[in-house]
A and B are shown apart, each in its own frame.
Chain A
Amino acid sequence: MNHIRSQILVCAGTGCTSSSSPAIIAAFQKELEAQKLTEEVKIVQTGCFGLCAMGPVVLVYPEGAFYTHVKADDVKEIVSEHIVKGRIVRRLLHKEGQDAGQTTSLSDTQFYKRQTRIALRNCGVINPESIDEYIGTGGYEALGRALTQQTPQEIIDKVLASGLRGRGGAGFPTGRKWQMTHDAVSPDGVKFVCCNADEGDPGAFMDRSVLEGDPHAVVEAMTIAGYAIGAHQGYIYVRAEYPIAIKRLQIAIDQAREYGILGENIFNSGFNFNLELRLGAGAFVCGEETALMTSIEGKRGEPHPRPPFPANKGLFQRPTLLNNVETYANITWILNEGPEKYAAIGTPKSAGTKVFALGGKITNTGLVEIPMGTPLRTIIEDIGGGCPNGKKFKAAQTGGPSGGCIPASLIDTPMDFDSLGSIGSMIGSGGLIVMDEDNCMVDIAKFFLEFIIDESCGKCSPCRIGTKRLYELLTKITEGEGTMEDLDTIEELCLHLKSSALCGLGQTAPNPVLSTLRYFRDEYIAHVVDKRCPAGVCKKLIHYTIDPAKCKGCTLCARNCPTKAITGAVKAPHTIEQEKCIKCGACMASCRFDAISKH
Chain B
Amino acid sequence: MKSLEELRAIREKMQKQLNLREKNEDSIRVVVGMATCGIAAGAKPVLEAFLDEVEKRNLSNVVVSQTGCIGVCQLEPIAEVYVPGEEKTTYVRLTADKVPRIVTEHLVNHRIVTEFTIGAAK
| Interface positions of A (Cβ within 8 A of B) | 1, 3-7, 9, 42, 61-64, 84-87, 105, 107, 125-126, 132-133, 135-141, 144-145, 148, 259-261, 266-268
**Is there an interface contact between A85 and B55, defined as CB atoms closer than 8 Å?**
no
**Is there an interface contact between A7 and B20, defined as CB atoms closer than 8 Å?**
yes
B48 on the A face (CB < 8 A): yes
**Is there an interface contact between A140 and B1, defined as CB atoms closer than 8 Å?**
yes
Listed from nearest, the 9 A-B pairs whose CB atoms lie closest are A136-B14, A86-B66, A86-B67, A3-B51, A260-B1, A64-B23, A144-B4, A87-B68, A268-B2
**Is there an interface contact between A63 and B65, defined as CB atoms closer than 8 Å?**
yes
CA–CA, A157 and B114, complex, Å:
60
| Total A-B contacts with CB atoms under 8 angstroms apart | 93
CA–CA, A261 and B10, complex, Å:
13
Closest chain-A Cβ to B32's Cβ sits at a distance in Å of 8
Which residues on the B side are within 8 Å of A5 (C-beta)? 47, 51, 64-66
Given A62-B65, A86-B67, the answer on whether A133 and B14 have CB atoms closer than 8 Å is yes
Question: CB < 8 Å: which of B10, B47, B64, B68 contacts A136?
Answer: B10
**Is there an interface contact between A85 and B1, defined as CB atoms closer than 8 Å?**
no
B17 on the A face (CB < 8 A): yes
**Is there an interface contact between A267 and B2, defined as CB atoms closer than 8 Å?**
yes
Q: List 6 A-B contacts (CB under 8 A).
A: A85-B66, A86-B67, A133-B14, A136-B10, A140-B7, A260-B2
| Interface positions of B (Cβ within 8 A of A) | 1-4, 7-8, 10-11, 13-15, 17-18, 20-21, 23, 31-32, 34-35, 47-48, 51-52, 55, 63-68
CA–CA, A61 and B4, complex, Å:
30
**Is there an interface contact between A85 and B3, defined as CB atoms closer than 8 Å?**
no
**Is there an interface contact between A268 and B3, defined as CB atoms closer than 8 Å?**
yes
**Is there an interface contact between B20 and A61, defined as CB atoms closer than 8 Å?**
yes
Given A62-B63, A62-B65, the answer on whether A145 and B13 have CB atoms closer than 8 Å is no
Residue of A nearest to B23 (CB): A64
- Could you list 5 further interchain pairs (A-B, Cβ under 8 angstroms) beyond the known A85-B66, A138-B11, A266-B1? A6-B20, A7-B21, A62-B20, A105-B23, A145-B4
Which residues on the B side are within 8 Å of A7 (C-beta)? 17, 20-21
**Is there an interface contact between B34 and A84, defined as CB atoms closer than 8 Å?**
yes
Which residues on the B side are within 8 Å of A64 (C-beta)? 23
**Is there an interface contact between A135 and B65, defined as CB atoms closer than 8 Å?**
no
Closest chain-A Cβ to B100's Cβ sits at a distance in Å of 15
CA–CA, A63 and B30, complex, Å:
12
**Is there an interface contact between A4 and B20, defined as CB atoms closer than 8 Å?**
yes
CA–CA, A591 and B4, complex, Å:
72
Closest chain-B Cβ to A585's Cβ sits at a distance in Å of 48
Residue of B nearest to A133 (CB): B14
Closest chain-A Cβ to B80's Cβ sits at a distance in Å of 11
Question: CB < 8 Å: which of A1, A85, A141, A266 contacts B11?
Answer: A141
Interface-central residue, B2, B20, B21, B55, by most chain A CB under 10 Å: B21
Residue of B nearest to A5 (CB): B51
Closest chain-A Cβ to B12's Cβ sits at a distance in Å of 8
Which residues on the A side are within 8 Å of B48 (C-beta)? 1, 3
Which residues on the A side are within 8 Å of B64 (C-beta)? 5, 62
CA–CA, A141 and B34, complex, Å:
41
CA–CA, A259 and B10, complex, Å:
11
Given A86-B68, A136-B14, the answer on whether A107 and B23 have CB atoms closer than 8 Å is yes
**Is there an interface contact between A85 and B68, defined as CB atoms closer than 8 Å?**
yes
CA–CA, A9 and B1, complex, Å:
29
**Is there an interface contact between A136 and B15, defined as CB atoms closer than 8 Å?**
yes
